[in-house]
Amino acid sequence: VSPSADDAVRAAAEVLGPRGVFDLPLGSRTTYRVGGSARLGFELSEPDDDLLAAEAVAAARHLPVITVGRGSNLIVPDAGFPGLALLVGTAGPWGRIEIDGEGLVRAGAGTLLPVLARRTAAAGRSGLEWAVGVPGSVGGAVRMNAGGHGSDISGSICEATVTDLSTGVRAVRPAFELELGYRRSALTSTDLVVAAAFATGSGAPAASAAAIEEIVRWRRENQPGGQNAGSVFVNPEGDSAGRLVDAAGCRGLRLGTAEVSPKHANFIQADPGGRADEVIALIREVRRRVLDHSGVDLHPEVKLAGASWDDLG
Ligand SMILES: Cc1cc2nc3c(=O)[nH]c(=O)nc-3n(C[C@H](O)[C@H](O)[C@H](O)COP(=O)(O)OP(=O)(O)OC[C@H]3O[C@@H](n4cnc5c(N)ncnc54)[C@H](O)[C@@H]3O)c2cc1C
């Protein structure tokens, strides 16, 4: 950590007070369960903690900041994250779900998607059943436009409440402003999703419950368990990333403690106690081999804390 980065972290810590934690383990909070610590961590649990976080960012010039939900689409390098990590959990409003008479479902950013799917289904609202298969939070899912089983966030989101950490302004942004596309949105690392609202239809709880159980069964049969972040690469137009990885001979490829899943070629597994840098190196190696083999440059869906894949070259 350079002296100026450390000054920035100290300035932010002063704003956060005792709730700002130095050297907070971060990798262990991801589904890869490997990787280092955040120089400073802050758990958002109270109603205006997003605004407090923005104040901390404003107090510290050039402080790298990252928001972490469930960590199910994130790799933290072994060297850690040099700035402020904002951790969105399920405490207080962050994990609250409210359903109004018209079927509008409001959920705090920390709400787990499987909980959202089951809760809305049980309340007789349909349309979010697919979310039971995605082990992330609402905030991470909005940022990623997560989806599966023929649906995604863009299919039902009406609006998101977003705090711009660089200005401290919290605003309700209508869905079109989020520019949701295939596993992408217009949100950047300084946009913190606080909550989102979804339109649902009226449904029969038993039918929704059956759909949910079918998705859970399908996932269990078709996806590996263990330490991973789901699909590593987004599917290129008209093709499947898993098929290309397989065709390049990478299924089962191992680099130290990281392995391309023998069960699903677009999943990379970390061994217990493994190294994040080996997961990162394996992703880059698979990308290189697929480019050599088929001429297709696969783009990682998984986010890298503190860097972009293109920075790595
Ligand atoms: C077994 C498995 C299966 C999966 N299957 C699918 C699937 O079928 N479809 C799919 O789309 N994804 C899938 N994923 C990936 C992942 O679950 C989704 O991308 C999920 O939406 C990420 O949410 P998260 O809270 O874990 O985000 P994180 O991993 O914590 O973060 C991901 C990105 O979102 C940002 N972010 C997180 N929270 C916020 C917030 N509140 N405000 C602003 N930005 C935020 C982070 O900074 C980061 O850039 C799977 C993952 C696993 C482990």
Establish whether residue 156 lines the binding site of ligand 1, counting it when its CB lies within 6 angstroms of any ligand atom. Answer: no
Report yes or no: 198 and 127 within 8 Å, Cβ to Cβ. yes
Which residue has the CA at smallest separation from atom 28 of ligand 1?
71
Establish whether residue 27 lines the binding site of ligand 1, counting it when its CB lies within 6 angstroms of any ligand atom. Answer: no
Distance CA 227, CA 204 (A): 35
Report yes or no: 94 and 109 within 8 Å, Cβ to Cβ. yes
Q: Give the pLDDT of residue 96.
A: 98
- Which residues make Cβ contacts (< 8 Å) with residue 8, sequence separation at least 6? 60, 61, 62, 63, 83
Smallest Cα–Cα separation from 121: which of 214, 215, 197, 202? 202
The alpha-helical segments, DSSP class H, found in 130-275 are 138-144, 205-222, 241-247
Distance CA 274, CA 81 (A): 18
Q: Give the pLDDT of residue 2.
A: 60
Q: Give the pLDDT of residue 61.
A: 85
Q: Which residues are catalytic?
A: 183, 231, 301
Strand partners, 161: 172, 195
- Strand 258-260 with 191-199, pairing: unpaired
Q: Give the pLDDT of residue 311.
A: 84
For the chain, the residue count is 313
Q: Give the pLDDT of residue 5.
A: 80
From 134, 188, 269, give the residue whose CB has the most ligand 1 atoms within 8 Å, as the site to mutate: 134
The alpha-helical segments, DSSP class H, found in the chain are 3-16, 49-59, 113-122, 138-144, 205-222, 241-247, 276-294
Global pTM reads: 0.97
Q: Is 6 helix (H, G, I), strand (E, B) or coil?
A: helix
Establish whether residue 173 lines the binding site of ligand 1, counting it when its CB lies within 6 angstroms of any ligand atom. Answer: no
Supply the DSSP symbol for 288. H
Please list, residue by residue across 17-42, b when 16 or more beta carbons sit within 10 angstroms of its beta carbon and e when fewer do: eeebbeebebbebbbbbbbbbbbbbb
Distance CA 109, CA 53 (A): 15
Establish whether residue 88 lines the binding site of ligand 1, counting it when its CB lies within 6 angstroms of any ligand atom. Answer: yes
Tens-digit pLDDT profile for residues 171-212: 999 999 999 999 999 999 999 999 999 999 999 999 999 999
CA of 3 to the centre of ligand 1 (A): 32
Which residue has the CA at smallest separation from atom 35 of ligand 1?
140
End-to-end CA distance of the chain: 22
Establish whether residue 54 lines the binding site of ligand 1, counting it when its CB lies within 6 angstroms of any ligand atom. Answer: no
From 143, 149, 154, 193, give the residue whose CB has the most ligand 1 atoms within 8 Å, as the site to mutate: 143
Q: Is 287 helix (H, G, I), strand (E, B) or coil?
A: helix
Q: Give the pLDDT of residue 3.
A: 60
Establish whether residue 67 lines the binding site of ligand 1, counting it when its CB lies within 6 angstroms of any ligand atom. Answer: yes
The two tokens of residue 193 are 């999703």
Q: How far is CA 112 from the centre of its chain?
A: 11
**Residue numbers of the chain with a pLDDT score lower than 50:** none
Smallest Cα–Cα separation from 108: which of 178, 163, 149? 163
Report yes or no: 74 and 305 within 8 Å, Cβ to Cβ. yes
Q: What is the sign, positive or negative, of the torsion defined by CA atoms of 49, 157, 110, 143?
A: negative
